[in-house]
Amino acid sequence: MKKWPNQLFINNNWVDGVAGRKWDVINPATGAVLESVALADAHDVDIAVKAARKAFDDGPWPRMDPLARGRLLFKLAEKIRENLADLAMTDTLNVGKPIRDTIGFDVPCAADLFESYAGLPDKISGKCYGTLPDNVTMQFREPMGVIAAIVPWNFPLTNAAIKLAPILACGNTVVLKPSEVSPLSAFMLAKLSLEVGFPQGVINVIHGTGAEAGAALVEHRGVDKITFTGRHQTGAQMLQAAKNGMKGVLLELGGKTPSIVLPDAPLENVVNGVITGIFFNLGQVCVAGSRLLVHASQHDEILSRIVSKVGSLRQGDPTDPKNHLGCLATDQHKKVVINYIEQAKKEGAKPVLADSKNSKNDGCFHAPVIFDCVTPSMTIAREEVFGPVLSVMTYKDEDDAVRIANDSDFGLMANIWTCDGGRALRIARRVKAGRIAINGGGALRPNVPVYGYKMSGIGAELGYEEAVHEYTNSKAVLYSLGTEKSPWPE
């Protein structure tokens, strides 16, 4: 690997933090230090926000020909593809994701996002309302301003692209704060943006803790909107911080995705889909299918098939393309996952596949876990574990399945498996979640919005119309055509 950038990226310059502090970025698979990176505090945040503010208020970006803006986004997409191998290995080393996944999904998805939104800038338009004989009323869409984008560690590059692509397409400037756990690919992305010619101050990347740099960023009065992906507890803090300056807020938070398997579903597809849904990236996915709802008549067969197939998954060195499973992102997070596993046992869940002392669980590694006999009231069924833990629940009929699926504080996504299209759509209308995947159709697409019901978020991530709504301001202009006006009160 080439040496990673290890400074803050502010106003197209690489700079150390004002306080001169550093933060060791760790490879969770080996415990080795990958890089010692500059650590931002409130002073650095202020500098970055002011750079973004000046770029928005006085710079060319918001006033640039939309097609020219789109071309820069397209060039960035191409740069990402040219650097696929380095970017993929960076996220693999940084968070323990299998290289087969970072090469096959994470980096290509990031490139696709920038390419897709490269076509949006000149499509942003307002409208004309019904007119009176002497009045024309128009609506304009204008760039919003400085956006604070805060992303988690589970998909470092992809999450950065999900934020930056629509933000930039709409003509805004941005201060991106990646997780302090996984900042390396975000800095690489900043380096690529410099190479393709983004103007000064348009993209700024700071690295710091949530408690210090994150809090300073969301509270800064120079920020016009906060977009955050992460835990719902932190999202609640964002809402409190947003009142300082009356900022807009877009929150994409946690999930507790149910997978409803109806008796007519093809079991081989179900088994593959369920295993992918919960064990891809070791369950460190906001839409991880952590709750499996099966009909009583099929429970034993489905569970047996899943356990058998999970046993064939290869886990080990994330840089080995033969391995399906890598490790958890941090030792601290592994402790959280283990606590949930032990709590499930205490509450009466039956461990079908669980061995926290297995040799594969050394360091940040943890093998897949499956619990049976899970009830909706158990902690394992209610809280987001964010790990390789599947909870199997049994339902009696369709109404019972919908009731269990909706018995959650979250509503980010749901999966439905059936050969009956009408039934699938009927259940999809009843399940309270922002995204419903039928028979495995849940792939991330740049043009498809991500909504969150209940505690899963506010606003919409991605989607073209939704992006314009989230990242532009609307202005009404009332144009009087009358030539004579009588002053009030005459």
Residue 414, beta-bridge partner list: 436
Burial readout 218-232 (b: 16 or more C-beta within 10 A, e: otherwise): bbbebbbbbbbbbbb
SS3 letters for 321-365?
CCCCECCCCCHHHHHHHHHHHHHHHHCCCEEEECCCCCHHHCCCC
Q: Which of 109, 170, 286, 327 is catalytic?
A: 286
Alpha carbons within 13 angstroms on the beta-carbon side of residue 365 total: 21
Q: How far is CA 465 from the centre of its chain?
A: 19
Q: How far is CA 366 from the centre of its chain?
A: 23
Residues 6+ apart with CB under 8 A from 133: 481
The yes-or-no answer on residue 419 being catalytic is no
Evaluated on CA atoms 52, 55, 57, 60, the torsion sign reads negative
Rounded Cα–Cα distance for residues 391 and 417 (Å): 17
Write the single-letter amino acid at 243: K
Rounded Cα–Cα distance for residues 422 and 379 (Å): 33
Q: How far is CA 290 from the centre of its chain?
A: 17
The yes-or-no answer on residue 286 being catalytic is yes
Alpha carbons within 13 angstroms on the beta-carbon side of residue 340 total: 23
Q: Which of 35, 180, 219, 252 is catalytic?
A: 252
Place of tokens 């393309």: 321
Place of tokens 């055509």: 481
Place of tokens 């502090």: 21
Rounded Cα–Cα distance for residues 254 and 457 (Å): 8
DSSP category for residue 487: P
Rounded Cα–Cα distance for residues 83 and 483 (Å): 61
The full DSSP string for 436-447 is EEESS-----TT
Q: What values do phi and psi take at 122, rounded to 5?
A: -90, 5
Residues classed as catalytic? 252, 286
